[in-house]
Structure 1
Amino acid sequence: MNLAFGHLGLLRDFIFFYPLLMAFIWMVGGVYYYWRRERGRPDWTEPPPLRVFPPVSILVPCHNEGETVEETMAALALQQYPDFEVIAINDGSRDDTGARLDAMLSDYPWLRVIHLHRNAGKAAALKVGAMASSHEFFVCIDGDALLEPHAVQWMMSHFVDGVRVGAVTGNPRIRNRSTLIGKLQVGEFSSIIGLIKRGQRSYGRLFTVSGVISAFRRTALHRVGYWADNMMTEDIDISWRLQRDHWDIRYEPNALCYILMPETLRGLWRQRLRWAQGGIEVLIKEVRRLLFWRERRMWGVLLEFLLSVTWSYAMLLLIVLWGLSHVIDVPAEFRSDPLLPRWNGVVLGMVCLTQFAVSHWIDRRYEPKVWRGYYWMIWYPIAYWLLNMLTVVAGVPKALLRRGRGRAVWVSPDRGLR
């Protein structure tokens, strides 16, 4: 019995110290990245000059994007890069996406449209777009995203200067902020996702490129077999396979892209569940290969992901034990209230707010008024940690049952209120 109580104590310590440790790792890595790569650089509206401007194909996979695709193309028309084309892939849309794309052909001479008659999925649409292009470099955005005019040049600067660069991921910014969920996601993409990418870039490997804004070298994609159409999250899968093939993946925070995100609980749940399931699918697929010494540079990303999954199940176990202590007679050790904020909850809350403050300080370069959302971030540890924990717990069995079977097709997302 004492051994069991000791294990319960270790469980509580892990639940407390894991997010605390990761917050400090991300803050230190983020500040280090900023100090080395962002401090003193020109404004994001002044991209670095390139010695050459390789032609670029901007791939825009579309599925039921009738409400947004015209905005997306209008934003691409403002792109300052001198040599680019846009290939829009209408992937079996059931709305008027195809008709709207065809109507824009006369307005935009750089636009090409490919129609797929059935829903083949984002990975398949990207692959079709890549095969239709004769260029070496691709920039991939979603059909509801607005690409900042200088973003392509910022990303291409990495390819021009680095022959081993296989992919570059940009900096998504939230467009819709009309609800509490939207406001929390503004802080999340700045304070969590942006800071994590900076930290991971500092120690060598990224967990994933952002599926909504990323650029690729065709040679690298060809070596690893392009995007896999049987994975729930093709962006995580291609990131791991490129890095396993020893290609460098970089983060470019100056490559801004404005995106729509869910602002309903149902839409947010579906999105995060897909992310969690997709990550687990990639982990199951790659974990054995990553145990070899030659893959050691991926061990940091692998360990971080494994610990995050373990933390989710540890938290679930503690919640279950806490609940049982209120309905059945259990030893005193199980009758404590570990879920209620005490000194450890206050410490985690303060560290979390410090993390948001650090990331907002770094991110003010790209969005001077990002501080406006700081007030709402006090709710993030309660709302989003619980959400992420539940989606990981639900995503693991879904990934084990699916195991890459069948093609991962489009499901129209909740794009929030604008």
Structure 2
Amino acid sequence: MANQLFIFSLSIIWLMLLYHMFLMQGGYLHYLRFAKPIKRWEKNISDTPLPSVSILIPAHNEAVVIERTLKAMLKLNYPKDKLEVIVINDNSSDGTGEIIDAYHANYPHIIPVHVAPEDGGKGKSGALNNGFKVATGEIIAVYDADNTPESMAIYYLVLAMMNDKKAGAVVGKFRVNNSQKNLLTRFINIETICFQWMAQAGRWFWFKIATIPGTNFAIRRSILDALGGWDEQALAEDTELSIRVYNQGYHVRFFPAAITWEQEPESWKVWWKQRTRWARGNQYVVLKFLLRFMKLDRKRIVFDLIYFFFTYFLFFLGVILSGAIFVTNLFVDLNLELGLIAMILWVLAYLLYITEVMIALSIEKEQMNSRNFLIVLFMYFTYSQIWLFLVMNAMFLEAKRKLFNEDVTWYKTERYDNKNSKSL
């Protein structure tokens, strides 16, 4: 029995590793090709007026970062008469509201929305829905309050959407502006690069599938109207919205020419809380839509649901199971017949992991260096393993919430006043 379980767990692990290598190949090919149509796209719309855009920025106690974000919004290369920046002051208790009002006094296209105490502080989805109520743009874009998009970000999101009529949403690339702060932010920097070029670019290249992130994306207003806005019960409102966009018959396009810079957690405590929310949110989305699969209009969505199911359930099970059997066998003879083979497979898996990550880093030229190589070698045994405990904790919390019918509790990520962080 132990041999069969061990083979099963190793098969799951290798299936995911090989799939991610396949995605990484697609991601690299997308990197080589994504910018080629830009000039042709610009010619296609040269005689077409640009659509109006409403940027939504949810802000709950963001006084340490919101001014830097608003300065970046003022530098966007997009006609000001076609642009409104709606900042949702979601029941902040610091100086967020005063900062937004001061910018509105000087720049009328920056529009404050102050949410009343009884309606605020309930999460990002609620704040976005409050901002959407007053938005007038044909295109709705979303940025987090710690983001500093590059000047062409909105233009590129709109350009891709105007030239791809089946794109319900277009998502850009995000980079970490405090990546050099400490070892944790270096880990996160590598993780985000891999996610974008492997999961986002790879899935888009091979399957025309991408996931709406929490920031730096644009979506057609008509789609949000049809969907009724954001799901306020979803902790991962971005993933949940992605599934519903596909179910409307559209796709989500990954277009990394649109770039934003964002702040990441600088302490393990903040990271744990943020990533637990993400894991719980994605588990909620997987179960929500898999249980309703037969009611979905677009059955191709199941491909993405299976990917998330493998990531947050089966792959997790495979790693835990193989590890438990291997450790148990050190103390109790389970008569494993794959001892040497298992060791070889583990070494090969480790080398494959390093290869995938280094390919992703090679796309971002300044990231391909000896320091990051050493960090990647170390990352597998530390950061990647901590993720296992995090997913386990998220499963427990989500199961407890469902069992006891608990309310969804939103954790707002702590911000840092990093004035020397990389910016525009």
User: Does the alignment reach a TM-score above 0.5?
Assistant: yes
* Aligned match of 2:229: 226
Which TM-score applies when normalising by structure 1?
0.88
CA displacement, residues 30-77 of structure 1 (integer Å, 9 cap, x when unaligned):
1332344235867xxx99965321111111110110001000001111
- Report if the CA contact (8 A) 2:161-2:167 is conserved: yes
Partner AA of 1:174 in structure 2:
V
Residue 247 of structure 2 contacts residue 296 of structure 2 at CA under 8 Å; is this kept in 1?
no
Residue number in structure 2 paired with 1:349: 350
* AA aligned opposite 1:331: L
Is 1:212 aligned to 2:215, yes or no? yes
Separation of aligned partners in 2, 1:379 and 1:215: 36
Query: CA offsets, 1:333-365, max 9 Å, x none?
Result: 3996999xx43333223222322332233333x
Say whether residues 1:105 and 2:104 are aligned partners.
yes
Secondary structure of 2:234 counterpart: coil
Deviations 1:252-298 (A, max 9, x none): 10111100001222122112111111001011111033356853322
Pair 396,53 (structure 1): closer, same or farther in 2 beyond 3 Å: same
Query: What corresponds to 2:137 in structure 1?
Result: 135
Provide the rounded CA distance (Å) in 2 between the counterparts of 1:337 and 1:354: 23
Residue 61 of structure 1 contacts residue 125 of structure 1 at CA under 8 Å; is this kept in 2? Answer: yes
- The residue type paired with residue 97 of structure 1 is T
Number of residues of Structure 1 aligned to a counterpart in Structure 2: 405
Structure 2: how far apart are the matches of 1:301 and 1:335? 33
Q: Distance in 1 between matches of 2:211 and 2:384?
A: 20
Aligned counterparts of 2:318 and 2:356: Cα–Cα separation in 1: 23
1:161 is matched with which residue: 163, 179, 183?
A: 163
Q: Which residue of 1 aligns with 2:359?
A: 358
Q: Is 140-149 or 345-354 further displaced after alignment?
A: 345-354
Contact 2:66–2:145 (Cα < 8 Å) also in 1? yes
CA distance in 1: counterparts of 2:268 and 2:43, whole angstroms: 38
Aligned residue type for 1:178: K
- Which of 191, 201, 204 is the matching residue for 2:204? 201
What are the residue-to-residue correspondences of 1:238-317 with 2, within 5 Å?
238-291=241-294, 294-308=297-311, 309-317=313-321
- 1:18 to 1:62, Cα distance in 2 relative to 1, 3 A: same
Alignment of 1:235 onto 2:238: yes
1:114-153 matches, within 5 Å, as 114-118=113-117, 119-153=121-155
Gaps of 5+ in 1: none
Output the CA distance in 2 between the equivalents of 1:416 and 1:333.
54
The whole-number CA distance in structure 1 between the counterparts of 2:271 and 2:43 is 34
Partner of 1:10: 8
Determine if contact 2:235/2:280 at 8 Å carries over to the other structure: yes
Output the CA distance in 2 between the equivalents of 1:39 and 1:162. Answer: 15
Whole-Å separation in 1 of the counterparts to 2:417 and 2:65? 12
- Cα deviations across residues 199-234 of structure 1 (Å, max 9, x unaligned)? 111233545211022111111111122101111111
User: Are the counterparts in 1 of residues 171 and 254 from structure 2 also a CA contact under 8 Å?
Assistant: yes
Q: Which amino acid aligns with 2:112?
A: V
Would the alpha carbon gap of residues 291 and 310 (structure 1) be closer, same or farther in structure 2, given more than 3 Å must change? farther
What do residues 282-338 of structure 1 show as CA deviations (whole Å, max 9, x unaligned)? 1111103335685332232122222222111222223333444456x4434399699
Aligned-partner Cα distance in 1 for 2:381–2:19? 17
SS at match of 2:151: coil
Select between 74-83 and 200-209 the one with higher mean Cα deviation. 200-209
Tell me the TM-score normalised to structure 2 length.
Answer: 0.87
Q: 1:321 to 1:64 in 2, by over 3 A?
A: same
Which deviates more from structure 2 when the two are superposed, residues 189-198 or residues 218-227?
189-198
Task: Name the SS for the 2:197 alignment partner.
Answer: helix
- What fraction of aligned residue pairs are identical, expressed as a percent? 23
| Contact preservation (8 Å) 2:34, 2:255 | no
SS in structure 1 of the partner of residue 101 of structure 2: helix
TM-superposition CA deviations, 1:103-154 (whole Å, max 9, x none): 2222222111011133132111111111101222111001111011100010
SS of alignment partner, residue 106 of structure 2: coil
Asked if structure 2 preserves the Cα contact closer than 8 Å seen for 1:166 and 1:249, the reply is: yes
SS at match of 1:333: coil
CA–CA distance in structure 2, aligned partners of residues 291 and 57 of structure 1: 35
Q: Aligned partners of 1:416 and 1:23: how far apart in 2?
A: 36
| 1:112 match: secondary structure | strand
- Aligned partner of 1:69 among 56, 66, 90: 66
Aligned-partner SS, 1:203: helix
What is the SS of the residue equivalent to 1:295? Answer: coil
Cα contact 1:55–1:137 (8 A) shared by 2: yes
**Structure 2 alignment gaps of length 5 or more:** none
The answer as to whether partners of 2:198 and 2:360 remain within 8 angstroms in 1 is: yes
Tell me how far apart the structure 1 counterparts of residues 399 and 218 of structure 2 sit (CA, whole Å): 30
Match of 1:53 in 2: 50
CA separation of 1:146/1:229 partners in 2, compared to 1, >3 Å: closer, same or farther? same
| Greater CA drift, 318-327 or 117-126 | 318-327
Choose from 167, 171, 174 the match for 2:173: 171
Which one-letter code corresponds to 1:214 in the other structure?
Answer: F
Taking the aligned partners of 2:73 and 2:165, their CA distance within structure 1 comes to 27
* CA distance, structure 2, for counterparts of residue 386 and residue 414 of structure 1: 25
Query: Does the CA contact (< 8 Å) of 1:174 and 1:186 recur in 2?
Result: yes
Question: What amino acid sits opposite 1:320 in the alignment?
Answer: A
What RMSD in Å do the two structures reach over aligned CA positions?
2.7
